Chain A
Amino acid sequence: MTTLALTATDSATLLRRNLRRLIRYPSMTVQLVVLPVLMLFLFVFVFGNQLGHGLGVPLAGSHTSRAGYLNYVVPGILLLTIAAAVQGTAIVVAMDMTGGIIDRFRTMGIARAAFLTSHVLASLTQVLTSIVVVLGVSFALGFRSTANPLGWLAAIGVLLLFAFGLIWLATALGLAAKSVETASNTPIFIVLLVFLGSGFVPASTMPEGIRQFASWQPFTPVTETIRGLLTGTHLGANAIAAISWSVCIAIVSYLWAAHLYKTRQPR
């Protein structure tokens, strides 16, 4: 077998293992999906009326401020879903690194890249599943999109590309963590970035300092791109910024993760 075929085979084997682990230990996955769904309910039903009113833009055929806010907030909730899911990535990577099984993998003649690749692919699968669940709930609550199938495909593509970058980042954080506890805490800043972007309220309404930060950090252009693709708001340069950010985060995080995997001694 060639190196590439070997890497693909071993990655597929380990991917099956990782997915099976997610199914066997569903409480974490469920928890990571429940968080964005709860946030959706909280923001739409508790704060939605006032927030929608404050936004002052009755969006895409909505009759009430609350329904308008639902349409506004769904892209933010989708990014929150990704941010929550990658926390799981850091945890499962750290679980493997601090347990004995990584020593077994390292002393076997398996393809070098297979371990990290399989974790990233498992997390992507998990993110996709979470996104589908959250979108389902959003539709049930009355979310309406103006997008055609191509728009949907583009939106899912942008979400997955951004998730891909954040998964590599979380993988690196999981590799760098000395314990599973640390690994479950360090990615929390990613969740925070969702709120410090344009996910829940426009960045332009934020106080001086935070406003500049919010408009420059990666979550804002990604949020605006999804919002544009799904609800027809103005896209502008956001799509290019979103894709550039995603690719940059993926490359830098991948290099960091690969370096950590090579040099870090388990335990």
Chain B
Amino acid sequence: MTDARQPAIIAMGLCKSFGEVKVLVDVDLSVPEGTVFALLGPNGAGKTTVVRILSTLISADAGTASVAGHDVVRDSDGVRTTIGVTGQFSALDELLTGEENLRLMADLNHLGPAAGRSRVSELLDRFELAEAARRPVATYSGGMKRRLDLAMTLVGTPTVIFLDEPTTGLDPRSRRMMWTIIRDLVAGGVTIFLTTQYLEEANQLAQRVAVLDQGKLVAEGSPDELKRRIPGAHVQLQFAQPQDLESAARLLGTGSQDSARLTLHIPTSGEVSSLRRLLDQIDDARIVASQVSIHTPDLDDVFFAVTGHSASKDGAST
């Protein structure tokens, strides 16, 4: 799948070290306009460092990057007027109310009093914060703070938005809500650069996913492309009797059997017709299988395959 649209974010050969520690090694990225790009990796992989370089907070030791056509070093002011950043740590003023926080952003974006007021009330409604608008942010729940944080980022209607682990620590309902908001933004033409440790999140939201591990990009593609790159889709048949397992294995002539658990794994393309054929074959031979389940590879399998360890591995946070 090619995309003719202009890339909103381009990075080439980004390197960054903190002291002796190499945090990023030769990272190349390209994010087409109006898409969601997910940078996936465990803690300490360097995801936040990428966001901080692209959002002009720190500079890379080597390599170049531009956002919306502005070079992040030579035209950092140009970048800042087009981007919105919601970091991993809440960037709110806890002593102010939700409404005051948003008004602060409206004023700093020079919206003017009338436009500022209407933008603020629109965002309060959209993010279900209208009821809590006059309460100090210190009294907000984690999910509310995260929503307000994102709402503050949106006051200036940025065209490229960086979200650094936007749903880490959120309950399932708040996470769903965040996903809906992100989808709405993309539908409105905004480009989103997302970092996450959750493979499911990347799968749900992103057109393209890059896997970052120990500062290096180890895989890139659409979630489907990545999943196709690794074997692993199979049907699992569960038997009640060992002789049924034996006969099924003989009949099908393929797959791996687990005699202790009485299961047989048969590789599959995942198509319905092939599954039906398989079950018909067993049925015709009068073999009794008690249960059937289908396993398709998820991004966890991808992660394991490309990095050699699972995504939940803990490392030092950067």
Say yes or no for A101: interface residue by CB 8 A criterion: yes
Say yes or no for B279: interface residue by CB 8 A criterion: no
Given A100-B87, A100-B90, A104-B152, A24:B57 Cβ within 8 A? no
A108 and B100 contact, CB distance less than 8 A: no
* Nearest opposing residue in chain B for A21, CB measure: B95
Chain A contacts of B81 at CB under 8 A? 109
Inter-chain CA distance A259–B286, complex, in Å, is: 82
From A24, A103, A265, give the contact of B96 (CB < 8 A): A24
A103 and B90 contact, CB distance less than 8 A: no
Say yes or no for A10: interface residue by CB 8 A criterion: yes
Given A103-B85, A107-B80, A24:B91 Cβ within 8 A? no
Inter-chain CA distance A265–B58, complex, in Å, is: 8
From B77, B84, B96, give the contact of A17 (CB < 8 A): B96
Inter-chain CA distance A1–B136, complex, in Å, is: 33
Chain A contacts of B91 at CB under 8 A? 99-101, 103-104
Q: How many A-B residue pairs have CB under 8 A?
A: 61
Chain B contacts of A99 at CB under 8 A? 89, 91
* Nearest opposing residue in chain A for B88, CB measure: A100
From A21, A24, A100, A108, give the contact of B108 (CB < 8 A): A108
Tell me the smallest distance from the CB of A157 to a CB of chain B, in Å.
31
Say yes or no for B46: interface residue by CB 8 A criterion: no
Say yes or no for B167: interface residue by CB 8 A criterion: no
Say yes or no for B104: interface residue by CB 8 A criterion: yes
B57 and A20 contact, CB distance less than 8 A: no
Say yes or no for B156: interface residue by CB 8 A criterion: yes
B56 and A24 contact, CB distance less than 8 A: no
Inter-chain CA distance A250–B81, complex, in Å, is: 32
Interface of A, helix, strand, loop or mixed by DSSP: helix
Chain A contacts of B136 at CB under 8 A? 24
A107 and B93 contact, CB distance less than 8 A: no
Given A100-B91, A104-B152, A13:B96 Cβ within 8 A? no
> Which positions 16-60 of chain A face chain B at CB distance < 8 Å?
16-17, 20-21, 24-25
> Which positions 86-135 of chain B face chain A at CB distance < 8 Å?
87, 89-93, 95-96, 100, 104, 107-110
* Nearest opposing residue in chain A for B86, CB measure: A104
Given A13-B107, A101-B91, A107:B57 Cβ within 8 A? yes
* Nearest opposing residue in chain A for B81, CB measure: A109
Chain B contacts of A234 at CB under 8 A? none
B80 and A13 contact, CB distance less than 8 A: no
Chain B contacts of A14 at CB under 8 A? 108
Say yes or no for A106: interface residue by CB 8 A criterion: yes
B56 and A107 contact, CB distance less than 8 A: yes
B95 and A24 contact, CB distance less than 8 A: yes
Inter-chain CA distance A110–B80, complex, in Å, is: 9
Chain B contacts of A100 at CB under 8 A? 87, 89-92
Say yes or no for A238: interface residue by CB 8 A criterion: no
Inter-chain CA distance A106–B104, complex, in Å, is: 14
B57 and A103 contact, CB distance less than 8 A: yes
* Nearest opposing residue in chain B for A1, CB measure: B110
Say yes or no for B55: interface residue by CB 8 A criterion: yes
- A77-107 vs B: 1/0 string, CB under 8 Å? 0000000000000000000000111011111
Inter-chain CA distance A23–B285, complex, in Å, is: 82
Say yes or no for A9: interface residue by CB 8 A criterion: yes
B92 and A101 contact, CB distance less than 8 A: yes
B110 and A21 contact, CB distance less than 8 A: no
Chain A contacts of B104 at CB under 8 A? 13, 17
Inter-chain CA distance A104–B108, complex, in Å, is: 11
Chain A contacts of B107 at CB under 8 A? 13, 16
A106 and B108 contact, CB distance less than 8 A: no
From A13, A25, A103, give the contact of B87 (CB < 8 A): A103
Say yes or no for B83: interface residue by CB 8 A criterion: yes
From A17, A101, A106, give the contact of B56 (CB < 8 A): A106
* Nearest opposing residue in chain B for A20, CB measure: B96
- A139-165 vs B: 1/0 string, CB under 8 Å? 000000000000000000000000000
Chain B contacts of A105 at CB under 8 A? 108
Residues of B within 8 A of A (CB): 55-58, 77, 80-81, 83-85, 87, 89-93, 95-96, 100, 104, 107-110, 136, 152-153, 156
Which A-B residue pairs are the 3 nearest by beta carbons?
A100-B91, A104-B91, A100-B89
25 contacts between A and B (CB under 8 A): A1-B110, A10-B108, A20-B95, A20-B96, A21-B96, A24-B95, A24-B96, A24-B136, A25-B95, A100-B87, A100-B90, A100-B91, A100-B92, A103-B85, A103-B91, A104-B85, A104-B153, A106-B56, A107-B55, A107-B83, A107-B84, A107-B85, A109-B77, A109-B80, A110-B108
